[in-house]
């Protein structure tokens, strides 16, 4: 292959110019946050209100009901002289009851950069997340808007480096992720558009705790019922023992399922736990069916040679059918 020196030179020059342009743009993107002048420029841009959020604690967290409470600080900074104070509203909740639920704890308005600090205690609501119960996880946001200024007069700008969650705070059984900000323009039916800032806290439930507390008990019911495959059906009392063993576990599984429904209402949604319990019911139902077929082969059909294969293949079906049904429910629903 022959190389054209002129073409190679042109390509190298192009790459150098592109690299210089890319490098020159990086400092602008990664520069430290500063307060830009908050006056309207000739092109119609809006002044900025810089916001930092620091969460002290999260209480009464319940993704199933879609409720939680937070204790947090709000820090506002701006330079627009026409803005006297941060008239913020909590959009996905309301201040907790009590006179100290929203408290201004510090302010500085003597210089060109004005600043206010608030401590807020509020109760929040989000859409319930019950589909993945008992492994429910989600985002716990704090959403605010300005009560007086729309996007033509104020735009929120997050101060990410000064925001976060108290590192000493933990929720037993839950893992708190790294919070993120989002700012969107929210338009109302009457034509007003406001800048809405959201401080999003990802929270994940500990999978091990969920397994031990919710999934392990039904599995134990299945393991106990599986012992019935070891009991012979040559005598009626042994058949009775197999029935008692499996049906008692069936009743225990149903009662356990209903106890969970009292904690997590159905709301017309088939939850992950419901799909798992359907698989448990299938296992127990197949086990009872196998016991019945073994009894019929031994006692009524006069075909005792069928008992062993029925018992063996019945055990295989009782395991594979619930597993297949569970994964099918996961795919289809």
Report DSSP state, residue 63. T
Domain 208-332, CATH class in plain words:
mainly alpha
Residues 6+ apart with CB under 8 A from 151: 46, 185, 193, 194, 195
- Which H helix or E strand runs over 81? none
SS3 279: helix
* pTM, full prediction: 0.74
Domains 48-205 and 208-332 share a fold: no
- CA–centroid distance for 270 within its chain: 17
Residue whose tokens read 């037993």:
172
- Per-residue pLDDT 10s for the chain (333 aa) are 444 444 444 444 443 444 434 333 333 333 333 343 333 333 345 689 999 999 999 999 998 889 999 999 999 999 999 899 999 999 999 998 876 799 999 999 988 999 999 999 999 999 888 888 888 889 999 999 999 999 999 999 999 999 999 999 999 989 999 999 999 999 999 999 999 999 999 999 998 888 888 999 999 999 999 999 999 888 888 899 999 999 999 999 999 998 888 777 655 678 899 999 999 999 999 999 999 999 999 888 889 899 999 999 999 999 999 999 999 999 987
What is the residue extent of each domain of the chain? Answer: 48-205, 208-332
Per-residue pLDDT, 23: 35
Specify whether domain 48-205 bears CATH 2.70.170.10. Answer: yes
**Angle made by CA atoms 198, 199, 202, in degrees to the nearest 5:** 120
ω before 10 within 30° of 0 (cis)? Answer: no
């Amino acid at each position: 292959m022959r190389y054209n020196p002129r073409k190679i030179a042109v390509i190298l020059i192009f790459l150098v110019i592109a690299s210089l342009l890319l490098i020159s743009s990086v400092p602008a993107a990664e520069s430290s946050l500063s307060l830009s002048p908050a006056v309207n420029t000739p092109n119609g841009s809006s002044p900025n209100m810089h916001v930092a959020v620091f969460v002290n604690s999260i209480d009464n967290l319940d993704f199933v009901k879609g409720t939680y409470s937070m204790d947090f600080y709000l820090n506002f900074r701006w330079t627009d002289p026409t803005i006297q104070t941060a008239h913020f509203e909590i959009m996905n909740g309301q201040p907790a009851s009590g006179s100290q639920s929203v408290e201004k704890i510090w302010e500085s308005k003597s210089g060109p950069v004005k600043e206010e600090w608030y401590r807020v205690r509020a109760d929040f609501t989000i859409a319930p997340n019950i589909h993945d119960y008992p492994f429910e996880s989600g985002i716990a946001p704090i959403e605010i808007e300005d009560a007086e200024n729309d996007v033509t007069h104020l735009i929120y700008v997050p101060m990410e480096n000064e925001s976060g969650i108290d590192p000493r705070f933990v929720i037993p059984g839950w893992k708190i992720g790294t919070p993120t900000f989002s700012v969107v323009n929210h338009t109302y039916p009457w034509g007003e558009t406001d800048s809405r800032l959201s401080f999003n806290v990802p929270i994940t439930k500990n999978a091990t705790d969920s397994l031990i507390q919710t999934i392990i008990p039904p599995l134990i019911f299945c393991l106990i019922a599986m012992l019935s495959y070891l009991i012979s059906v040559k005598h009626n009392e042994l058949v009775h023992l197999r029935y008692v063993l499996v049906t008692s576990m069936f009743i225990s599984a149903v009662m356990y399922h209903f106890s969970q429904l009292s904690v997590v209402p159905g709301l017309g949604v088939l939850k992950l736990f419901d799909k798992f319990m359907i698989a448990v019911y299938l296992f127990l139902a197949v086990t009872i069916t196998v016991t019945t077929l073994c009894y019929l082969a031994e006692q009524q059909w006069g075909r005792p040679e069928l008992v062993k294969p029925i018992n063996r293949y019945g055990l295989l079906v009782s395991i594979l059918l619930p597993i297949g049904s569970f994964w099918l429910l996961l795919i289809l629903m």
